[in-house]
A and B are shown apart, each in its own frame.
Chain A
Amino acid sequence: MNEMSKNENIDIQIYNFAYLDENTKRMIRRALLKALCIPGYQVPFSSREMPMPYGWGTGGIQVTSACLIPKDVLKVIDQGADDTTNAVSIRKFFQKTANVAVTEKTSDASLIQTRHRIPETKLKEKQILVYQVPIPEPLRFLEPRETETRKMHALSEYGLMYVKLYEDIAKHGHIETAYAYPVKTNGNYVTDPSPIPKFDNPKMNNSPAIQLFGAGREQRIYAIPPYTNVKSLDFEDYPFEAMKANFKCSICGSSDSYLDEIIVSDDGKRSYICSDTDYCKEQTKLNSKKEDQL
Chain B
Amino acid sequence: MKQDFLFKASNISKYYGQNIGCKNVSLDINSGEVLGIVGESGSGKSTLLNCIYGNLELDEGDIFLNDKSKTILNFTKISEPKLRLIQRSDLAFVHQNPRDGLRMNISAGGNIGERLMAIGHRNYGEIREIASNWLEKVEIDVSRIDDKPSTFSGGMQQRLQIARNLVTKPRLIFMDEPTGGLDVSVQAKILDLLRNLVRELGIAAIIITHDLAVVRLLADRIIVMQNGNVVEAGLCDQVLDDPQHKYSQLLVSSVLQV
A residues at B contact (CB < 8 Å): 155, 157, 159-160, 162-163, 166-167, 169-171, 235-238
Q: How far is the CA of A76 from the CA of B107 in the complex (A)?
A: 42
Cross-chain contact A166 with B123 (CB below 8 angstroms): no
Q: How far is the CA of A171 from the CA of B105 in the complex (A)?
A: 13
Q: A167-B107, A170-B109 are in contact. Are A159 and B115 (CB under 8 A)?
A: yes
Partner of B118, one of A157, A169, A238: A157
Q: A162-B122, A238-B124 are in contact. Are A171 and B146 (CB under 8 A)?
A: yes
Cross-chain contact B117 with A166 (CB below 8 angstroms): yes
Q: A160-B114, A166-B109, A170-B107 are in contact. Are A155 and B80 (CB under 8 A)?
A: yes
Cross-chain contact B115 with A170 (CB below 8 angstroms): no
Partner of A237, one of B80, B106, B125: B125
Residues of chain B lying within 8 A (CB to CB) of residue A157 = 84, 118
Determine chain A's interface SS by DSSP, over half rule.
Answer: helix
B residues at A contact (CB < 8 Å): 80-81, 84, 103, 106-107, 109-110, 113-119, 122-125, 127-128, 145-146
Q: How far is the CA of A163 from the CA of B115 in the complex (A)?
A: 9
Cross-chain contact B80 with A235 (CB below 8 angstroms): no
Q: How far is the CA of A159 from the CA of B145 in the complex (A)?
A: 19
Residues of chain B lying within 8 A (CB to CB) of residue A162 = 117, 122
Cross-chain contact B124 with A169 (CB below 8 angstroms): yes
- Shortest Cβ distance from residue B89 to the other chain A in the assembled complex, whole angstroms: 11
Q: A167-B106, A170-B109 are in contact. Are A235 and B115 (CB under 8 A)?
A: no
Q: How far is the CA of A16 from the CA of B240 in the complex (A)?
A: 81
Q: How far is the CA of A166 from the CA of B127 in the complex (A)?
A: 9
Residues of chain A lying within 8 A (CB to CB) of residue B106 = 163, 167
Q: A166-B127, A170-B109, A171-B146 are in contact. Are A159 and B119 (CB under 8 A)?
A: yes
Q: How far is the CA of A236 from the CA of B125 in the complex (A)?
A: 9
Cross-chain contact A163 with B80 (CB below 8 angstroms): no
Residues of chain A lying within 8 A (CB to CB) of residue B125 = 237
Residues of chain A lying within 8 A (CB to CB) of residue B146 = 170-171
Q: How far is the CA of A235 from the CA of B84 in the complex (A)?
A: 24
Q: How far is the CA of A163 from the CA of B127 in the complex (A)?
A: 11
Cross-chain contact B117 with A159 (CB below 8 angstroms): yes
- Shortest Cβ distance from residue B83 to the other chain A in the assembled complex, whole angstroms: 10
Cross-chain contact A237 with B123 (CB below 8 angstroms): yes
Cross-chain contact B124 with A159 (CB below 8 angstroms): no
Residues of chain B lying within 8 A (CB to CB) of residue A169 = 124
Residues of chain A lying within 8 A (CB to CB) of residue B103 = 163
Q: Which residue of A lies closest to B111 (CB)?
A: A163
Q: How far is the CA of A171 from the CA of B127 in the complex (A)?
A: 15
- Shortest Cβ distance from residue B114 to the other chain A in the assembled complex, whole angstroms: 5
Q: How far is the CA of A162 from the CA of B106 in the complex (A)?
A: 12
Cross-chain contact A166 with B113 (CB below 8 angstroms): yes
Residues of chain A lying within 8 A (CB to CB) of residue B109 = 166, 170
Q: Which residue of A lies closest to B109 (CB)?
A: A170
Q: Which residue of B lies closest to A236 (CB)?
A: B123
Cross-chain contact A167 with B110 (CB below 8 angstroms): yes
Q: A155-B80, A235-B123 are in contact. Are A170 and B114 (CB under 8 A)?
A: no
The 3 A-B residue pairs whose C-beta atoms are closest, nearest first, are A159-B118, A162-B117, A159-B117
What are 9 residue pairs bridging A and B, where the CB atoms are less than 8 Å apart in the complex? A159-B117, A160-B114, A162-B122, A163-B103, A163-B106, A166-B109, A170-B110, A235-B124, A237-B125
Q: A157-B84, A163-B117 are in contact. Are A235 and B122 (CB under 8 A)?
A: yes
Residues of chain A lying within 8 A (CB to CB) of residue B123 = 235-237
Cross-chain contact B84 with A159 (CB below 8 angstroms): no
Q: How far is the CA of A155 from the CA of B109 in the complex (A)?
A: 25
Q: A155-B80, A157-B84, A171-B146 are in contact. Are A166 and B124 (CB under 8 A)?
A: yes
Cross-chain contact A163 with B114 (CB below 8 angstroms): yes
- Shortest Cβ distance from residue B143 to the other chain A in the assembled complex, whole angstroms: 13
Q: How far is the CA of A167 from the CA of B123 in the complex (A)?
A: 13
Q: How far is the CA of A163 from the CA of B123 in the complex (A)?
A: 12
Q: How far is the CA of A285 from the CA of B245 in the complex (A)?
A: 94
